[in-house]
Structure 1
């Protein structure tokens, strides 16, 4: 958040303060309505300002002091004037603090994802029919085919559904109504290993630990860093 953004947010917040309709009585306030361009744009500016400011922790941000500075600035009657260097130093401290908070949140989420995935795989390995390979990949045979198995240089046609361990479906060729064709070695390691275990015509369920999936990168909006993944994979055809 730089000084310019903060000033714009401050001006917008003042517009929000001034755009409400006065109450007729203490117990029966008049419903606020957007009727004109002035009140509408002021309200939207207020919303945008609130979104910019709400992530600042309460221990750092004081709304009363903010409101006081906002009103004084708007009326050109600022009591405590800071030069640009002092203001920049304050905002730099704010930026540094927010970055530390965000980094701590990310590290906490990463640790939680790793622990959750490890616990899930540990329990899942005990279930009947679940096989764990040397790499840590777990798989379950849903239907065993009798065709050829693909090699690392082959291309395959598959149908699949991908889920998080909480059951959230993040991708599905079934929903798209179209199988996917790709090289066996062109996908995540868990798939590359698992596909080579499957005779054509099989349907397996892969339980893929984070280090054989997307690891620290994650993927898209649903697959967070270090997420353990579950895939139902149906091998339809091996293409040479």
Structure 2
């Protein structure tokens, strides 16, 4: 992101030894390997997700309180959907999901440059669904101080809609 070049946001980047790092700087760990298909560009994906602010006490900004890895109650409308490759989600989310298989759960550590553009969660998804979540995320992203803007997401790829 051009707007972030030369700016020092928060603490130096942490690398987690049990996570893999992509060339873009995204760190990820598969909590459960999926057994289904991998998505392709243009597929509509159905995912469940939780989001946390790592540098601000690990506060959740979206926690659906559904146990990851078990049978989910609810219908497709309860999950987040987006089209892979249309850039309607933050770059880290798109990069992480592109190599998952259906049924997989991946935890990702998102550096600021792969997060919300211009620190505005309203421009790209995923977006918090509660007022409290919006406030927590907006506080971290909008803070001009030295708060670490690194985010953490747990993503479960539920289904691919062709």
Compute the TM-score of the two structures, normalised by the length of structure 1: 0.47
Q: What are structure 2's unaligned runs of at least 5 residues? A: 1-6, 67-73, 122-133, 143-147
Q: If each structure's helix is expressed as a fraction of its own residues, which one has the higher value? A: 1
Is 1:152 aligned with 2:41? yes
**Structure 2: distance between partners of 1:187 and 1:231:** 13
User: How far did residue 215 of structure 1 move?
Assistant: 4.3
Paired position in structure 2 for 1:19: none
Q: Which has the larger radius of gyration?
A: 1
Structure with more contact order per residue of length (Cα contacts < 8 Å, sep ≥ 6): 2
Is 1:237 aligned with 2:159? yes
Q: What are structure 1's unaligned runs of at least 5 residues? A: 1-109
3-state DSSP class of the match of 2:36? Answer: coil
CA contact (8 A) 1:173 1:180 kept: no
> Where in structure 1 do 4 or more consecutive aligned residues deviate above 6 Å?
none
Q: If each structure's strand is expressed as a fraction of its own residues, which one has the higher value? A: 2
List per-residue Cα deviations over 1:207-229 (Å, max 9, x = no partner).
Answer: 11111101432334323147211
1:115 to 10, 15, 26: 10
List per-residue Cα deviations over 1:151-208 (Å, max 9, x = no partner).
Answer: 2311111111000003100013446x62212222321000111001101110000111
CA contact (8 A) 1:160 1:234 kept: yes
Compute the TM-score of the two structures, normalised by the length of structure 2: 0.67
CA contact (8 A) 1:159 1:174 kept: no
CA contact (8 A) 2:90 2:117 kept: no
3-state DSSP class of the match of 1:222? Answer: helix
Paired position in structure 2 for 1:221: 135
